Structure 1
Amino acid sequence: MKQDSSYLQCCKECNSVIKIANSDQNHTAYCPNCDEILQQGSSWSLTRCTILAIAILILLPFGLSFPLMNIDLLGVPIYASVWGGVWKMATSGYAITAFMVLFCSVIMPVAFASLVVLIALQRLIKQRPHYSLLLLSKAQQWVMLDVYLVALGVAAFKVREYAQLHFDIYLSAFLITAVSMTLLFIKIDLKRMWQEFYPEYHNVSPDCSSDVQLCSVCEYTFAEQIMDKKGQLRCPRCESNLSVSEKVKLQRVWATLIAGTIMMIPANILPISSTLFAGSISADSLISGVMLFIDMGSYAVAAIVFIASIFVPFSKVAIIFYLLLAIRYRWKHNIHRQLKLLHYVHFVGRWSMLDLFVLALMMSLVERGQIISFSVGGAAVFFGSAVFLTMISSSNLDAKMLWDIHKEKK
């Protein structure tokens, strides 16, 4: 009699229990209920991901500290780099805003690639990377080199009206690093890493008669019940606390969303930047910055800035509010449309950091004390805080709460 090689897997989005064939690990398995990926078939091995991470770490010093572009102002070349913009912003009295830019463009990219290399080293010395895997799963959403790459183009269009602009050869290092980091995001499979380092935690057999549960952190489907001394349910593999109630999760979402919404008021009222040119000062808010690009005839850039700085933040807040109200009042709306809205929120939230990256580049290019001077406005710190808070809010919004309402309807 042929042994059944299939196993049970809980979907992290709709919480359905799906039977998956274990015959070929190179195929991608999808949930038939919500199309969520249950098994990633196109992922790379840890060795290949480590090689790519090492290449990223080699290129990062060139891409972050060396000049990406420069302007010629009265015969004097002025260079702009990622680190130079952060340093200029911090030393000019905008330390909090500078730290936000530093965190997303320097600290987290270095940390993410370093964690991949660290996990490979831990495998060599036969050590289990428990905390490394947990940190790696949290770090990915805060790596924003792709957003910074778009910010380079926006800053280039903004500066060219004041001086002649040139791109440096080190821009290629930053471009290759950003593309490589995106490829690493696509090809790395944390679930498979957990299985490789913790092989004693087997998949649940289809013959299992107990109720199965899913750990949302390491995506381990298990049937056993493990309680700590406080009576809280723990994941057998990563030991994460799984007893956080739905009420507490919703309180976290409401708290961060309300705080982020409050931050958006001064972020849109106060000027986000000011420019001194030929003796006249021009203070720009988010919307006036968009109008400036329209007046310059740069409609594509104006559209990018409008979408990233105004449309995305407001639409994100509106969608999260709607989903929270749908959960609170048990609105039985189309579940697939609600999930599309939730996926939209998860995807676009990070792109709102575009404005802060542009400010950092402008601070690096346009120095004070010359004919032209650029400074950050009071709205920057509020805008950055709103972006961070709404990202935290959306990450705490659980899709299973929406599916519970849908299952009640059915």
Structure 2
Amino acid sequence: MQRLSLSVDRSVSPTSYRHDACACGECDLLIPATELAEGESLACSRCGHLQSRHLPHSRVRPLAFGLATLVMFVLCNSFTFMAFSSHGLGREMTFLQTITTLVDAGYLFLAVVLSVTLIGFPLVYIGSVMLVVWRLDKSLHPHAMRSLGRLLCRIRPWLMVDVFLIGVLISLVKLMGMADVSMGLGFWAFVGYSIMLVLTISSLDTHWLWQQLFGHVEVALPEQGAVTAREAGLVGCHICGALNQEGENRCQRCGDHLHSRKPGGLQRTLALLITSAILYIPANIYPIMDTVFLGDDSPSTILGGVVLLWALGSYPIAAVIFIASVMVPLAKLIALFWLCWQVGAGKAHSPLAKLKLYRLTEFVGRWSMIDVFVVAILAGLIRLDNLMTIYPGPAAVSFAGVVIITMVAAMTFDPRLIWDLQEGEQKLE
């Protein structure tokens, strides 16, 4: 079997670079090598999936934004995040206390979720970006570089700092009707932390990074006949985008495991969806938080919180909570079940419309975590001895499980299966 050649050439023009031939990760279409000028992007001609962007100042911007992110993170943990006062009693909360309060209350699963998505993964991502980009022209063990590069690609969907910020704003609206609330310097530093993290992510193109680290993968595409990588006997790496010969176990550029289609087929996705559907029931039946006021315990479900916000006149916030916490998880479950049924039943019509539905479900899934973050903020802040205290309810754990498992289910679904059906029908014709 002939291996593809890997040529390392880091003498790339600052105003242009050649993007290697690749296979679209969403429809498997072969895309020839393309020269990209600064500011240009490359998208699949069949499904429109973005393959790469040649961003200006590709090396300086990630380092600058990454450093600013770390500075903002230190500042948001050095000052008061929020302050709450009612009937002469008050409490101040730091950012880290939203997590430590959950630990004290025995909700270790929720504490781990917040720790990982708000602190652990973001700091690992920023540190890895800065180290890899800084060492582009210097010697670093190739196995370490490959491990860091793969880590960057895998943890990116789990960075939820921006979602938490929206949860803080919703919590602020809820608290305004109960007592006086003030935002400390830590909150404004957290806003900067969120913005800088988003800018760091958007300033780095991973395909460009892999080519800078380990050079080009030279491959000759068939002049006619084969349209997809599978038809040409090639496999596109889902981490670095390099094309490899079918039958290779690992990508020759990034070292990740190769598979023409995601392993497990529809069975893995369906198993995760069924688990999410089961958890969705207690997530909406049981209280998501308990409010104790002067000894009176008032549990509140997700829908109960929406109704309360609506009654208080906070119509936009009630709508956001209802859509993000009720409609989006349910719609995502239905959409993924429908896509699995369409693929399993061999329905080949409208592949692009199905792909757009899949992209939508994958994009909105993480925003359902807003309600969990709201509960964590309220539980961390409102602890006024015997006057008023808020505790997370059992539904918070179930709902966090629904969000996480549906996100994993969307990741395990392979959208290329949608296009395989259409190609099969075309061959029969």
SS of 1:131's equivalent? helix
Please state if 1:72 is matched with 2:77.
no
Deviations 1:217-270 (A, max 9, x none): 111124x4564xxxxx32111222224765613222122221121111111111
TM-score normalised over the length of structure 1? 0.91
Deviation at 1:304, TM superposition (A): 0.8
395, 404, 409: which is aligned to 2:420?
Answer: 404
Deviations 1:194-229 (A, max 9, x none): 101101x4342457796433111111124x4564xx
In structure 1, the partner of 2:256 is 240
Identity of paired residues, percent?
26
Contact kept, 8 Å, 1:226 with 1:235, in 2: the verdict is no
User: 1:8-23, aligned counterparts within 5 Å?
Assistant: 8-22=21-35
339, 362, 380: which is aligned to 2:378?
Answer: 362
Deviation at 1:6, TM superposition (A): 8.8
In structure 1, the partner of 2:236 is 214
Please state if 1:38 is matched with 2:51.
yes
- Which residue type is aligned with residue 100 of structure 2? W
Please state if 1:139 is matched with 2:155.
yes
Contact kept, 8 Å, 1:43 with 1:186, in 2: the verdict is no
Identify if the C-alpha distance between structure 1 residues 43 and 9 changes in structure 2 by more than 3 Å, giving closer, same or farther: farther
- What is the alpha-carbon distance in structure 1 between the residues aligned to residue 218 and residue 76 of structure 2? 42
Q: Which moved more, 1:309-318 or 1:33-42?
A: 33-42
Identify if the C-alpha distance between structure 1 residues 119 and 7 changes in structure 2 by more than 3 Å, giving closer, same or farther: closer
Identify if the C-alpha distance between structure 1 residues 221 and 281 changes in structure 2 by more than 3 Å, giving closer, same or farther: same
Please state if 1:352 is matched with 2:401.
no
Contact kept, 8 Å, 2:153 with 2:206, in 1: the verdict is yes
Report how many aligned residue pairs link the two structures.
399
- What is the alpha-carbon distance in structure 1 between the residues aligned to residue 85 and residue 42 of structure 2? 54
- What is the alpha-carbon distance in structure 2 between the residues aligned to residue 271 and residue 327 of structure 1? 37
Deviations 1:298-352 (A, max 9, x none): 0000011111110111111111101111111111231121111111111111111
Identify if the C-alpha distance between structure 1 residues 105 and 317 changes in structure 2 by more than 3 Å, giving closer, same or farther: same
Contact kept, 8 Å, 1:275 with 1:375, in 2: the verdict is yes
SS of 2:32's equivalent? strand
- What is the alpha-carbon distance in structure 2 between the residues aligned to residue 390 and residue 333 of structure 1? 25
In structure 1, the partner of 2:139 is 126
Identify if the C-alpha distance between structure 1 residues 160 and 6 changes in structure 2 by more than 3 Å, giving closer, same or farther: closer
- Which residue type is aligned with residue 102 of structure 2? M
Deviations 1:76-119 (A, max 9, x none): 43123331111011111111111112211121111111111221
In structure 2, the partner of 1:230 is none
RMSD of aligned residue pairs (Cα, Å): 2.2
240, 249, 266: which is aligned to 1:250?
Answer: 266
- What is the alpha-carbon distance in structure 1 between the residues aligned to residue 257 and residue 128 of structure 2? 23
Please state if 1:99 is matched with 2:115.
no
Please state if 1:394 is matched with 2:416.
no
In structure 2, the partner of 1:287 is 303
SS of 1:297's equivalent? coil
Q: Which runs of 5+ in 2 are unaligned?
A: 1-17, 225-231
Please state if 1:160 is matched with 2:176.
yes
Please state if 1:202 is matched with 2:202.
no
- Which residue type is aligned with residue 118 of structure 2? S
In structure 1, the partner of 2:121 is 108
User: 1:169-188, aligned counterparts within 5 Å?
Assistant: 169-188=185-204
- Which residue type is aligned with residue 22 of structure 1? E
- Which residue type is aligned with residue 268 of structure 1? N
335, 343, 365: which is aligned to 2:351?
Answer: 335
- What is the alpha-carbon distance in structure 1 between the residues aligned to residue 265 and residue 209 of structure 2? 27
Identify if the C-alpha distance between structure 1 residues 384 and 84 changes in structure 2 by more than 3 Å, giving closer, same or farther: same
Contact kept, 8 Å, 2:279 with 2:402, in 1: the verdict is yes
SS of 1:354's equivalent? helix
- What is the alpha-carbon distance in structure 2 between the residues aligned to residue 99 and residue 24 of structure 1? 43
Contact kept, 8 Å, 1:30 with 1:37, in 2: the verdict is yes
Identify if the C-alpha distance between structure 1 residues 18 and 188 changes in structure 2 by more than 3 Å, giving closer, same or farther: same
Contact kept, 8 Å, 2:272 with 2:405, in 1: the verdict is yes
User: 1:49-68, aligned counterparts within 5 Å?
Assistant: 49-64=62-77, 66-68=79-81
Deviation at 1:362, TM superposition (A): 0.5
- What is the alpha-carbon distance in structure 2 between the residues aligned to residue 236 and residue 21 of structure 1? 21
- What is the alpha-carbon distance in structure 1 between the residues aligned to residue 280 and residue 68 of structure 2? 38
SS of 1:66's equivalent? coil
SS of 1:274's equivalent? strand
- What is the alpha-carbon distance in structure 2 between the residues aligned to residue 53 and residue 250 of structure 1? 38
Deviation at 1:372, TM superposition (A): 0.9
Q: Which runs of 5+ in 1 are unaligned?
A: 228-232
